[in-house]
Amino acid sequence: MKLDRRRFLGSSVGVAAAAGVTAEWVWPKHTVSYRRPRSAVAVLNAAEYSERIEALLLDGLRLFRLQVLGRSVLLKPNLVEDMPGPVNTNSALIGAAARCFLRLGAVRVVIGEGPGHQRDTELVVQAAGLKPHLAERQIEFVDLNRDELRKVKLKANYSGLGELWLPSAVLESDFVVSMPKVKTHHWAGVTLSLKNMFGVVPGMKYGWPKNLLHWSGIHECILDICATVPIHFVIADGITAMEGNGPLHGSPRQLGKIVLADDPVAADATCARLMGFDPLRVRHLSEGGHFLGNLREDRIRMLAEEVGAPTRPFSVLPEFRYLLAVKS
Amino acid sequence: MSNSDLLDELRRRELRGGGWSFFGSRQVSLEATPLAILCLLAERPSEAPRLGKLLSDAQLADGSWPSFVGDRESSWTTALAVCALNSVNDPSKARERGESWLLRAKGQEGHWFWRWKFKTADRNVQFDPDKYGWPWISGSASWVIPTAFSIIAIKQFTVCNRSEESEKRIHLGREMLLDRACVDGGWNSGNSVVYGVPLRPHVEATAIALLALQDEQRTEVIQKSLSWLRQNAASVDSVSSLAWCILSLFVYQEPIGGLKNRLATIIGDGRDIRNNATLATAILALKCGEMIHPFEVLR
C-alpha cells in the first residue's frame, strides 16, 4: 500500500489518539474517586456578618446530619493578605463555624492556614480580626506554612509533581472543612473551595508565593492536592464576595450567600453558577467533576434555596470572559 | 524581662539533638536554626564550634541547605546558613561550598526560554526577566527575600576578597531587587505591577531587601523604600515584621529606640511567641546596637 502524506497524517493522528487513550487507561491521572451518586448543597441567605450568623450556620449544618461527634475538625479559611476589602474569609464566619462544630460534638476544632503571599502569618491573622475568636473559645490556630511536614505521594498526577510535603495538622485531622472566600482569580478564573487548598502547601518548603505550584500548572496542582487531601465539607463565604481582578485587587460584590456542601466540586459549581459562570469552563472544576465530586446540577440535591443566575454576572478580567455562562 | 531571659527561653527550646523547629515539633528548621544560632553566638561565643557543626552537618552534598532536616532539596535557607556561618567564622569548607552553590543558583527566569516567554507572550506581570535573583526553591522564579539574603550572604563572605563571579552575581541580584520594587517604594513578594495594578509593599520583604542594599548608593528607590519603612514601622504590631524593621532601620542609622521599647512590650517574657524563628529575630532586634549586627555588610 502506498503511504501518501494524507494517509500518513491520518494514521499518525489515529495512533496518537489511541496512545492517549491507552496511556490514560494504563496510567490513570488519579487513583482515588470521592464522587458519590448525589451530593448535597445548601445556599443560605445572609445579608451581613452579624451575630446571627452562628444560628443560621448551625441550622444549615444540621441539614447535613454531619458525623463529627468525637472527631477533630480542621477549618481551612482563605487568609491571604493583611489588606482591606473582601480578601480573606470573614472572621465572624470562621468563629461561628468553629463554635458550631464544637456544638455538634467535635472533640477539637483547629483553624489552619498557610497564607500564600504574606510571610508574616501573625500580621494576616491580626488583620483578619481572628484573634478575639481564637481567644474566646481557646481555639488553636496552626500556621500551616511552618507546621511539621510529612512527605506524601500525590493521589493524582496532573502536575507531574508526584509528591508534596504537607503539614501534619492537615494530615492528622479527621474532618477537613474548606472555607473559601468567593472570589474571581487572575490566574485560575475563580478561587473557591478547591483552590483554597493551596493554603495547605507549606511556605517553609515551597516559598511565598508557592510559586512551584504556578510553574507546575495551577489547575493541575489543585486537582493533585484535592485528590490527596480530601475536603469533607465546605462553608463558602459569599456574603461579600470579590469580582474583577481577584483574589486581591478586585471589587467587593454583595452576594449575600453562604454556601454549604458535603462535596467541594458541587460547592464550587454552585458558587460558580451564583457568580454567573459556567462551571464546566473552569478547568479544575470540569476535570474534578470526574473524580473529586459532582459538577452536574442533576447530581446535586439543593437542601435550601435553589440557585438562580445573578442579575448581573461577576465581572472578570478580559482573559476570563469565556467563563461567563450563556443565558438560556 | 531582660534579653538574657529571652535567650534562656530560646535555649530551652533547642531540640535534644540540636537545632530548632518552628513550633516545637522535632523537625529542625533551617530558617529557625541559623537565626537562633546568631542570637546565641552573641551571648556565648565559646559555643561557635558546636553551632557551626550543627549547620555543617545539615548541609547537602551540593553545598546547599534544605528548608528542614530530612528534606533532600536545596532551598533559600542556604543564604541564611551562610550568614550564620559567617558570624561563626566557620573554618570548615561548608561556607565556601554554600557560597559556590549560591553563585550557581538562579530563578527560573534565568533560563533563556523563560526570559523569552516573559518578554514576548506573558506580560501580565511587569518585570525585566534579564534581571534575576534567587528562588525559594529550585524550579521557581526569583523572589525578593531569597534574593536579599543571598546577596547579604555573598557580600559578607566575600568582603575581603570578592571574585568577579561573585561581583557579577551580586550586581544582577541588586538589579533584580531594584527592578521589582513597588511603584512608591518598598517591596512586595517579588512583583511590582500585576495586571496593571501596582502592588503594595510588605514590611518584612522591604526591611530585608533594604538590608541587602545597605552598602549601595542611595538611589531614589532605596530612599523611597526607606521612608516607607520608617513610616510603617510606627504602626506594625506583629513581632516578626517589627523586628525586621528594627534590624533594617538600624543599619541606615535611623532611630530605633522607640521601636525596640514597643517590641519589648509586645513580646513580654517571650513565652507567647511560639514561633522560634520569630523569637530569635526579636532577640536580634532587641540586641541591635549592643552586638555586631548579624546582617551588616561592611563597605
ipTM: 0.95
Q: Which residue has the cell 459532582?
A: A294
Helices B239-251 and B203-212: angle between axes, nearest 10 degrees? 30
Q: What value does the mean pLDDT of chain B take?
A: 94
Of B158, B114, B120, nearest to B132 by C-alpha is: B114
Residue A229 grid cell = 487531601
Instruction: Provide mean pLDDT across the span B24-32.
Output: 96
Given a cut of 80, whether residue A109 has pLDDT beyond it is: yes
Q: Residue A56, class by beta-carbon neighbours within 10 Å (0-12 exposed, 13-18 middle, 19+ buried)?
A: middle
The 10s digit of each residue's pLDDT in A200-255 is 999 999 999 998 998 899 999 999 999 999 999 999 999 999 999 999 999 999 99
Q: Tell me which chain B residues have a C-beta less than 8 angstroms from the C-beta of A123.
A: 203, 236, 238, 240-241
Of A185, A99, A176, nearest to A142 by C-alpha is: A176
Reported as half-sphere exposure (CB side, CA atoms, 13 A), residue A236 has a value of 37
Cα angle vertex B17, ends B13, B21, to 5°? 45
The 10s digit of each residue's pLDDT in B154-166 is 999 999 889 999 9
- The pLDDT score that the predictor gives to residue A1 is 53
Most confidently modeled range among A48-62, A295-309, B105-119:
A48-62
**Cα–Cα dist B90/B84, whole Å:** 9
- The residues, any chain, with a CB within 8 Å of residue A38's CB and separated by 6 or more, are A294, A299, A300, A301
Measure the CA dihedral B66/B71/B74/B79, to 10°.
-10
Q: Predicted confidence band at A130 (pLDDT cuts at 50, 70, 90)?
A: very high
Q: Do B136 and A165 touch (CB under 8 A)?
A: no
Instruction: Provide mean pLDDT across the span A261-270.
Output: 98
The whole-model pTM stands at 0.93
Question: Which residue type is seen at B171?
Answer: H
Q: Predicted confidence band at B286 (pLDDT cuts at 50, 70, 90)?
A: very high
Instruction: Provide mean pLDDT across the span B15-30.
Output: 96
Q: How far is A72 from chain B (nearest CA, A)?
A: 19
Q: Predicted confidence band at B126 (pLDDT cuts at 50, 70, 90)?
A: confident
Q: Tell me which chain A residues have a C-beta less than 8 angstroms from the C-beta of B205.
A: 119
* In contact, A278 and A326? CB cutoff 8 Å: yes
Q: Which residue has the cell 511552618?
A: A146
- The pLDDT score that the predictor gives to residue B181 is 97
Instruction: Provide mean pLDDT across the span B85-114.
Output: 91
Q: For residue A88, what are the CA distances in angstroms to A29, A51, B229?
A: 32, 19, 24
**Cα–Cα dist A110/A185, whole Å:** 27
- The pLDDT score that the predictor gives to residue A21 is 59
* DSSP secondary structure letter of residue A42: E
Instruction: Provide mean pLDDT across the span B52-70.
Output: 97
Q: Do B68 and A207 touch (CB under 8 A)?
A: no
Type and span of the H or E element at A175? strand A175-179
Residue-wise DSSP of B227-291: HHHHHHHTT---HHHHHHHHHHHHHTT---HHHHHHHHHHHTTSTT---HHHHHHHHHHHTBTTB
Residue-wise DSSP of A79-137: ---S-SSTTS--HHHHHHHHHHHHHTT-SEEEEEE--SS-S-HHHHHHHTT-HHHHHHT
The 10s digit of each residue's pLDDT in B251-269 is 999 999 999 999 999 999 8
Per mean pLDDT, which range of A4-8, A54-58, A300-304 is the poorest? A4-8
* In contact, A295 and A288? CB cutoff 8 Å: yes
* In contact, A87 and A123? CB cutoff 8 Å: no
The 10s digit of each residue's pLDDT in A148-184 is 999 999 999 999 999 999 999 999 999 999 999 999 9
Q: Predicted confidence band at A19 (pLDDT cuts at 50, 70, 90)?
A: low
Q: Predicted confidence band at A13 (pLDDT cuts at 50, 70, 90)?
A: low
Q: Predicted confidence band at A304 (pLDDT cuts at 50, 70, 90)?
A: confident
Given a cut of 60, whether residue A41 has pLDDT beyond it is: yes
**Cα–Cα dist A257/A46, whole Å:** 5
Percentage above 90 pLDDT, chain A: 84
- The pLDDT score that the predictor gives to residue A3 is 59
Given a cut of 70, whether residue A191 has pLDDT beyond it is: yes
Q: Which residue has the higher pLDDT, B226 or B24?
A: B226
Closest CA in chain A for residue B196? A245
Q: Residue B12, class by beta-carbon neighbours within 10 Å (0-12 exposed, 13-18 middle, 19+ buried)?
A: exposed
- The pLDDT score that the predictor gives to residue B148 is 98
- The pLDDT score that the predictor gives to residue A11 is 73
Q: How far is A200 from chain B (nearest CA, A)?
A: 16
Q: What value does the mean pLDDT of chain A take?
A: 93
- The pLDDT score that the predictor gives to residue A161 is 96
Q: Which residue has the higher pLDDT, A207 or A26?
A: A207
Q: Could you tell me if A123 lies within 8 Å of chain B, comparing CB atoms?
A: yes
Instruction: Provide mean pLDDT across the span A271-279.
Output: 97
Of A88, A117, A146, nearest to B203 by C-alpha is: A117
Q: Do A120 and B29 touch (CB under 8 A)?
A: no
**Cα–Cα dist A78/A116, whole Å:** 10
* DSSP secondary structure letter of residue A197: G
Name the residue facing B68 among A204, A207, A214 (closest C-beta). A204
Of A269, A230, A275, A236, nearest to A255 by C-alpha is: A275
Name the residue facing B195 among A123, A186, A204 (closest C-beta). A186
